A and B are shown apart, each in its own frame.
Chain A
Amino acid sequence: MSLNESRSFQSSDVESLLKQMKLRGPSDQLDVVISNLVANDEFAERSVAGGIQFGWTAILATAAAAMLAGVLVGYSFAPISEKVSGSDVATVDLNSSDSDLTSVAFNVKAFNLLHGHSQLAEFDNCNQCHRKVADEDATLKEVFQGWFYGDEHFFESHPDGLADCSKCHVAATVEKDEFAKLVNCSDCHAVDVDGFEGFKRDWHTAASSSEG
């Protein structure tokens, strides 16, 4: 090691090294997307990487479409008797002793859309994410606590994310294959007898206008 190298590093040396580091740049595709955005007022929000962006409108509209499509082809919500299959319709075996899952039947497509799971996700192993709790409600394991669509305003208001779903949800009436209903959410949500009627505040508008 030369004398030059053995001398102590100084801040200026660090800055000099930092300047020499070659930064990874964005792809040309991003340039195209931004140009299109500027050029078109009507801009379809989609992922540069090809993923799906979730917004409440898109989620609810697409979920409704997915559910309707399921009903039309005759397999909306399957009876609770089969193992989770990872196919379009999945159910959980209530009587299985080795199941860690709550006894909720669900439509995977709708579930994916509503909960932000990937459309490609397989659900053969739900207990990787979920554990069974005493009240039979599905509670997400710690690492998945934030797996829910929400902007910063949502997380400010719901600091625990979905750490404890029973704070907001009551267990589904399994026999009727119903989804869990929202409870105690009337601060933010307009809740009707069927569970959900909309938001009291337009969170997206609020988020956009207070962006930054």
Chain B
Amino acid sequence: MKQWMESLYREHRQGLFSYALSILGCPQMAEDAIQNAFTRLHRSSNAVKEMEQQNMVPYVFRCVRNCAVDLQRKHHHQRRLSEGLFESFQQTDNTPSPPDSLLTEERAEMLRAAIDELAESEREVVVLKMFAGLTFEQAGEMAETSPKTMATRYRRALIKLENQLKGQI
């Protein structure tokens, strides 16, 4: 009956978690936010079923955001994004040489810190675009703003990150 929920969850599991984590900074609370969101969706599944497929993903992300914000307000959780969002630096296929590897780890740490310094709206769009795989259209739908605005925020965020890293390395 509500298989769409599970399939949507499976498809966006990581993205939803990263997004909730970027708001709350605590993995357990992020999972609670997702659970609460899906419980709400479950209760209002008849209304959601009427929704067009393309709007479903932004809607679910918005639910998760609302639940995360609710939890954040309830617990006044002091978050530091970099402590929760990332595990460790991922080695890619073109594994760098040892000296470069050290530098890359440094960059990763700086990047974490730089992400923390972003404005909330900028961090949000980076997480949605980069880690949750949403399009600007979907991110705009979720944030109830235009895709153009989301794209502008994203560009601004990248420039800020770039400048932060430029200044450090």
- Contacting B at CB under 8 A, from A46-61, are 47-49, 51, 53-54
CB B92 to nearest CB in A, in angstroms, measures 6
Q: Is A196 an interface residue (CB 8 A)?
A: no
> A26, B28: Cβ atoms under 8 Å?
no
- Give the residues in chain B near A53, CB-CB below 8 Å: 32, 36
4 further interface pairs, Cβ-Cβ under 8 Å (given A21-B112, A34-B34): A9-B162, A24-B27, A26-B13, A146-B74
- Picked from B28, B44, B86, B158, the residue with its CB within 8 Å of the CB of A23 is B86
Known contacts: A45-B39, A211-B66. The answer to whether A20 contacts B6 by CB under 8 A is: no
> B44, A211: Cβ atoms under 8 Å?
yes
User: Residues of B with Cβ closer than 8 Å to A?
Assistant: 1-3, 5-6, 9, 13-14, 17-18, 21, 27-32, 34-36, 38-44, 47, 59, 62-63, 66, 69-70, 73-74, 76, 84-90, 92, 100, 103-104, 107-108, 111-112, 126, 130-131, 155, 158-159, 161-162, 165-166, 169
> A116, B74: Cβ atoms under 8 Å?
yes
The CA-CA distance from A9 to B110 in the complex, in Å, is 13
- Give the residues in chain B near A23, CB-CB below 8 Å: 14, 18, 85-87, 131
- Give the residues in chain A near B84, CB-CB below 8 Å: 24
> B5, A5: Cβ atoms under 8 Å?
no
> B111, A48: Cβ atoms under 8 Å?
no
- Give the residues in chain B near A148, CB-CB below 8 Å: 74
Query: Can you list 12 A-B pairs, Cβ within 8 angstroms, ordered by A?
Result: A9-B165, A17-B108, A18-B126, A22-B90, A23-B87, A23-B131, A24-B18, A25-B17, A47-B32, A48-B31, A146-B76, A147-B76
> B32, A212: Cβ atoms under 8 Å?
no
> B158, A14: Cβ atoms under 8 Å?
yes
Closest residue on chain B to residue A29 by CB atoms: B31
Closest residue on chain B to residue A10 by CB atoms: B162
- Give the residues in chain B near A37, CB-CB below 8 Å: 5, 35, 38-39, 42
CB B137 to nearest CB in A, in angstroms, measures 16
The CA-CA distance from A20 to B69 in the complex, in Å, is 28
Known contacts: A21-B111, A211-B44. The answer to whether A9 contacts B166 by CB under 8 A is: yes
By size class, the interface of chain A is 35 or more
Q: Is A33 an interface residue (CB 8 A)?
A: yes
- Picked from B66, B73, B162, the residue with its CB within 8 Å of the CB of A150 is B73
Closest residue on chain A to residue B29 by CB atoms: A49
- Picked from A5, A10, A25, A151, the residue with its CB within 8 Å of the CB of B70 is A151
- Contacting B at CB under 8 A, from A1-37, are 5, 8-11, 13-15, 17-27, 29-31, 33-35, 37
- Give the residues in chain B near A202, CB-CB below 8 Å: none
CB A6 to nearest CB in B, in angstroms, measures 9
Q: Is A149 an interface residue (CB 8 A)?
A: yes
Contact flags A111-153 to B (C-beta < 8 A → 1, else 0): 0000010000000000000000000000000011011111110
